[in-house]
Amino acid sequence: MGNALQGIPSVISDERPRVWRYSHSAGPIRSRFLLNLRDQQKITGTKCPTCGKVYVPARSTCLKCFEDMSDWVEVSHEGTLKTFTIVHEPLPSLKSEIPFILGIIQLDGADTGIVHRLGDVDSEELRIGMRVKAVFEGEVKGDIRDIKFFRPADSA
Protein backbone atom coordinates (compact mmCIF):
# COMPACT_ATOMS: atom_id res chain seq x y z
CA MET A 1 0.00 0.00 0.00
CA GLY A 2 1.51 3.33 -1.06
CA ASN A 3 1.56 6.57 0.86
CA ALA A 4 -1.35 8.65 -0.42
CA LEU A 5 0.42 11.87 0.60
CA GLN A 6 3.74 11.05 -1.07
CA GLY A 7 4.99 13.98 -3.12
CA ILE A 8 2.63 16.50 -1.50
CA PRO A 9 4.62 19.19 0.32
CA SER A 10 3.86 19.99 3.95
CA VAL A 11 2.62 23.44 4.82
CA ILE A 12 4.02 24.90 8.02
CA SER A 13 2.90 28.24 9.33
CA ASP A 14 3.92 30.35 12.30
CA GLU A 15 0.70 32.38 12.03
CA ARG A 16 -1.75 32.35 14.86
CA PRO A 17 -4.83 30.27 13.96
CA ARG A 18 -7.84 32.28 12.88
CA VAL A 19 -11.22 31.85 14.46
CA TRP A 20 -13.80 31.04 11.82
CA ARG A 21 -17.35 31.89 12.69
CA TYR A 22 -20.07 30.04 10.87
CA SER A 23 -23.66 28.99 11.22
CA HIS A 24 -25.57 26.12 9.74
CA SER A 25 -29.18 25.12 9.31
CA ALA A 26 -30.68 22.17 11.13
CA GLY A 27 -32.65 21.46 7.96
CA PRO A 28 -36.38 20.80 7.76
CA ILE A 29 -36.41 17.42 9.54
CA ARG A 30 -34.12 18.30 12.44
CA SER A 31 -35.81 21.71 12.75
CA ARG A 32 -39.21 20.09 13.20
CA PHE A 33 -37.76 17.71 15.80
CA LEU A 34 -36.27 20.67 17.72
CA LEU A 35 -39.44 22.79 17.44
CA ASN A 36 -41.50 19.90 18.84
CA LEU A 37 -39.10 19.79 21.80
CA ARG A 38 -39.21 23.54 22.34
CA ASP A 39 -42.88 24.29 21.74
CA GLN A 40 -44.61 21.15 23.01
CA GLN A 41 -42.00 19.25 25.03
CA LYS A 42 -42.67 16.32 22.71
CA ILE A 43 -39.95 13.95 21.60
CA THR A 44 -40.71 12.92 18.04
CA GLY A 45 -39.15 10.73 15.42
CA THR A 46 -39.66 9.70 11.84
CA LYS A 47 -40.97 6.28 10.85
CA CYS A 48 -39.92 4.35 7.76
CA PRO A 49 -42.94 3.47 5.57
CA THR A 50 -41.24 0.23 4.44
CA CYS A 51 -39.65 -1.39 7.50
CA GLY A 52 -41.43 0.59 10.23
CA LYS A 53 -38.21 1.58 12.01
CA VAL A 54 -38.59 4.74 14.14
CA TYR A 55 -35.61 7.09 14.29
CA VAL A 56 -35.06 9.47 17.21
CA PRO A 57 -33.68 12.04 16.64
CA ALA A 58 -35.69 12.27 13.44
CA ARG A 59 -33.98 11.81 10.11
CA SER A 60 -35.11 12.05 6.51
CA THR A 61 -33.87 8.70 5.16
CA CYS A 62 -34.07 5.19 6.62
CA LEU A 63 -30.61 3.75 7.17
CA LYS A 64 -31.93 0.22 6.59
CA CYS A 65 -34.16 0.68 3.51
CA PHE A 66 -32.89 4.03 2.19
CA GLU A 67 -36.53 5.12 1.96
CA ASP A 68 -37.56 8.75 2.36
CA MET A 69 -39.40 9.21 5.63
CA SER A 70 -42.14 11.75 6.21
CA ASP A 71 -44.30 10.00 8.83
CA TRP A 72 -43.86 11.59 12.26
CA VAL A 73 -44.49 9.77 15.52
CA GLU A 74 -44.31 10.86 19.14
CA VAL A 75 -42.27 8.65 21.43
CA SER A 76 -42.16 8.43 25.20
CA HIS A 77 -40.09 10.64 27.49
CA GLU A 78 -38.96 7.39 29.13
CA GLY A 79 -36.64 4.74 27.84
CA THR A 80 -33.84 2.28 28.51
CA LEU A 81 -30.20 3.16 29.10
CA LYS A 82 -28.26 1.14 26.52
CA THR A 83 -24.76 2.26 27.48
CA PHE A 84 -22.96 5.16 29.15
CA THR A 85 -19.58 6.75 29.66
CA ILE A 86 -18.11 9.17 32.17
CA VAL A 87 -16.61 12.20 30.43
CA HIS A 88 -13.57 13.82 32.05
CA GLU A 89 -12.84 16.43 29.37
CA PRO A 90 -14.98 19.55 28.88
CA LEU A 91 -17.30 19.72 25.89
CA PRO A 92 -18.15 23.40 25.29
CA SER A 93 -21.41 22.55 23.53
CA LEU A 94 -22.76 20.85 26.66
CA LYS A 95 -21.59 23.44 29.18
CA SER A 96 -21.38 20.79 31.89
CA GLU A 97 -19.00 20.61 34.79
CA ILE A 98 -16.65 17.66 34.53
CA PRO A 99 -16.91 14.85 35.10
CA PHE A 100 -20.34 14.26 33.59
CA ILE A 101 -22.11 11.23 32.18
CA LEU A 102 -23.29 10.68 28.61
CA GLY A 103 -25.57 7.80 27.73
CA ILE A 104 -27.36 6.28 24.79
CA ILE A 105 -31.04 6.06 25.60
CA GLN A 106 -33.55 4.09 23.54
CA LEU A 107 -36.86 5.80 24.19
CA ASP A 108 -40.03 3.72 24.30
CA GLY A 109 -41.47 3.75 20.80
CA ALA A 110 -38.08 4.33 19.10
CA ASP A 111 -35.79 1.81 17.44
CA THR A 112 -32.65 3.94 17.74
CA GLY A 113 -30.81 5.54 20.61
CA ILE A 114 -30.37 9.20 21.43
CA VAL A 115 -27.09 10.39 22.97
CA HIS A 116 -27.66 12.66 25.91
CA ARG A 117 -26.44 13.67 29.35
CA LEU A 118 -27.50 11.76 32.46
CA GLY A 119 -28.19 13.64 35.69
CA ASP A 120 -29.57 13.31 39.21
CA VAL A 121 -27.70 10.03 39.52
CA ASP A 122 -24.34 8.84 40.88
CA SER A 123 -22.22 6.92 38.41
CA GLU A 124 -22.15 3.96 40.82
CA GLU A 125 -25.95 3.69 40.54
CA LEU A 126 -26.00 3.52 36.74
CA ARG A 127 -26.79 0.18 35.15
CA ILE A 128 -27.19 -0.74 31.52
CA GLY A 129 -30.86 -1.57 31.07
CA MET A 130 -32.09 0.86 33.74
CA ARG A 131 -35.13 2.97 33.02
CA VAL A 132 -34.59 6.71 32.58
CA LYS A 133 -36.79 9.70 31.78
CA ALA A 134 -36.25 13.10 30.21
CA VAL A 135 -36.05 16.24 32.33
CA PHE A 136 -36.72 19.45 30.40
CA GLU A 137 -35.07 22.82 30.98
CA GLY A 138 -37.21 25.57 32.48
CA GLU A 139 -36.30 27.95 29.67
CA VAL A 140 -36.31 26.22 26.29
CA LYS A 141 -34.44 27.59 23.27
CA GLY A 142 -35.06 25.19 20.41
CA ASP A 143 -32.04 22.91 20.61
CA ILE A 144 -31.32 19.43 21.93
CA ARG A 145 -30.32 20.93 25.28
CA ASP A 146 -34.01 21.71 25.87
CA ILE A 147 -33.82 18.23 27.35
CA LYS A 148 -31.69 19.09 30.38
CA PHE A 149 -30.75 15.47 31.02
CA PHE A 150 -32.17 12.00 31.59
CA ARG A 151 -32.49 10.71 35.15
CA PRO A 152 -33.58 7.40 36.64
CA ALA A 153 -37.29 6.89 35.98
CA ASP A 154 -37.98 5.82 39.55
CA SER A 155 -36.68 9.10 41.05
CA ALA A 156 -39.13 11.83 42.05
Burial class of residue 137 in the structure, from the number of CB atoms within 10 Å of its CB (0-12 exposed, 13-18 middle, 19+ buried): middle
**pLDDT at 1 (0 to 100):** 47
Residue 143 lies in a domain: yes
Residue 86 lies in a domain: yes
pLDDT per residue, tens digit, the chain (156 aa), is: 456 667 766 666 566 666 666 666 788 999 999 999 999 999 999 999 999 999 999 999 999 999 999 999 999 999 999 999 999 998 877 778 899 999 999 999 999 999 999 999 999 999 999 999 999 999 999 989 999 999 999 875
Distances (CA, A) of 124 to 87, 115, 129, 131: 14, 20, 14, 15
**pLDDT at 95 (0 to 100):** 76
Q: How many of the other CB atoms lie within 10 Å of CB of 151?
A: 17
Residue 97 lies in a domain: yes
Residue 4 lies in a domain: no
Q: What pTM does this model have?
A: 0.82
- Mapped onto helix, strand or coil, the DSSP state of residue 114 is strand
Residue 55 lies in a domain: yes
Residue 113 lies in a domain: yes
Residue 16 lies in a domain: no
Q: How many domains does the chain have?
A: 1
Domain membership of residue 148 as a residue range = 27-152
